[in-house]
Amino acid sequence: MNKIPYLFSLLFLMNCNSSLEKEKKYFSPGEKWMDNNGVHINAHGGGILFHEGLYYWYGEHKIEGEIGNTAQVGVHLYTSQNLYDWKDQGIVLKVNETDPESDIYKGSIIERPKVIFNKKTKKFVMWFHLEPINKVYKTAEGANVGYGAAKSGIAYSDSPFGPFEYLRSVRPNAGKWPINVQDFHKKKVSSEVKKIYGGGPEHLPVHVDSLNILGRDFKIGQMARDMTLFVDNDEKAYHIYSSEDNSTLHISMLSDDYLSHSGTYKRIFPSKFNEAPTMMKSSSGKYFIIASGCTSWSPNPARSATSNNIFGSWKELGNPCVSRDSLTTYYSQSTYILPINGIKDAFIFMADRWKPENPIEGTYVWLPIKIKNDKLIELEWKEKWDLSVFD
Ligand code: GAL
């Protein structure tokens, strides 16, 4: 047998195989995910905007080492047409490196950025959890380690590619009571509740309503840490965040320009310590929330809830994860629910597998959301999957 043509066809086949390999499009939850430059995507705690044919993934840019848990660079953007291949578009909101008085000075904490488009003003509006640098919480290297400010940062841009201009930071809804305020909220707050409690239920062993943290923060505005944004069919937008020392979720309607709170908000699940909230709406109009418990960077079982109206009443549904490792949400924590353009009731659950000791190595867990009888949602583990699951 003539070995030369045989070798040629072997080489040809090998080449075909490697280009087939390149053509393979799938999600591998928890694995490293390379961008167009072959670099692991750096957009943690992120959210995705779909605008005019393109997906825009905004997230926290992390750097090596524990200092990377603070904002050393800013908010990173990647774009994609097909959700598998992502192009690095650089930093769209930069930390301030010249003015130590700036809220977003290098070393502050900028977490969970989300961007929405306002059809009236044509502005792209970014909200994020912000812990400005402050004297109390600064380390010797100038990094912020405290979460006591519990503020929301707002930035905007004329283009989804940025640059985003930082506008201000707020404590939501100062001087406003929620729709479901109770009489005791308006009573004088005891001095016992002056202090800010830590992050989780272990720091607040009593029911939050016996402390009235809402009342404590009435004048200065409510705390807001882990957060998401949600735009409804009528273009009203909502800021959903862990408030009252993480014990209670608030759903807060934004102003028409999306740049501030409207003053209309509701507390839900008091003392249930939901973090990392995400929201979606099915084509029949049912709202769903997926959130996590409150255990810092360590994973815990996710929770879900449903409602016919955005302000409730919300019904708890329990952990939507159904496969092995459901008790750790597959070693991840929710960050966003992405509706897929052009496919009815197709949603992707986006979560972070945090690596707090070297945050740049954190990976992403994306899974399809199964809606069951428009009542329940389920997250099944998949080693590898593609958008054909929604066919
Ligand atoms: C998590 C939260 C993260 C980050 C972390 C800090 O619970 O979801 O966004 O704030 O705590 O410990």
Tens digits of residue pLDDT in 303-354: 999 999 999 999 999 999 999 999 999 999 999 999 999 999 999 999 999 9
* CA-nearest residue, atom 12 of ligand 1: 296
Ligand 1 neighbour 68 (Cβ under 6 A): no
pTM over the 0.85 mark: yes
Can you give the pLDDT at residue 78? 98
Ligand 1 neighbour 276 (Cβ under 6 A): yes
What are the residue ranges spanned by the domains of the chain?
42-170
- Within 8 A by CB and 6+ apart from 63, the residues are 72, 73, 359, 360
Report the C-alpha gap between 370 and 317 in whole angstroms. 14
Can you give the pLDDT at residue 6? 55
Can you give the pLDDT at residue 16? 45
Can you give the pLDDT at residue 378? 98
Mutate to test the pocket of ligand 1, among 275, 278, 300, 357 (most ligand atoms within 8 A of CB): 275
Can you give the pLDDT at residue 227? 98
Question: Is 42-170 CATH 2.115.10.20?
Answer: yes
Task: Report how far ligand 1's centroid is from the alpha carbon of 103 (Å).
Answer: 19
Can you give the pLDDT at residue 188? 86
Can you give the pLDDT at residue 142? 53
Q: Which residues in the chain land under pLDDT 70?
A: 1-24, 134-145
Ligand 1 neighbour 131 (Cβ under 6 A): no
Q: pLDDT by residue (tens digit) across 77-127? A: 999 999 999 999 999 999 999 998 899 999 999 999 999 999 999 999 999
Ligand 1 neighbour 275 (Cβ under 6 A): yes
Can you give the pLDDT at residue 381? 98
Can you give the pLDDT at residue 23? 61
Nearest atom within ligand 1 for CA of residue 276: 8
